[in-house]
Amino acid sequence: MNFAPLPSVDVAAVPSDGFVLDVREDNEWAAGHAEGALHIPMSDFVARFGELTEATDDGRRVHVMCRVGGRSAQVTQYLVQQGIDAVNVDGGMLAWEGAGRPMVTDNGTPAFVL
């Protein structure tokens, strides 16, 4: 059985106004995340899928991220199967931080990748 290759992009290819979906757990999100990202932990994803479809009803591309790319690859595969334009961000938040992309926390402390 052949599977289509998973669509993925380098962290540098995520537009500054691109839609980012962060599927890491709450403690990872709290440590630091991409500004403006939607946070739905992979463990809650199926139950909260409607939040994503509502946020992307304009058909824009979803850039899926986790810490290094494993969990986000699974979520990306699921989204593509649902007909959503989704891409996995290679290297995840570690690559994001390494590329100097902006990161924030909800409480104003310095952001880092947990």
* Whole-angstrom distance, CA of residue 32 vs CA of residue 29: 6
Catalytic residue among 42, 66, 86, 111: 66
For the question of residue 66 being annotated catalytic, the response is yes
Which sequence positions are flagged as catalytic?
A: 66
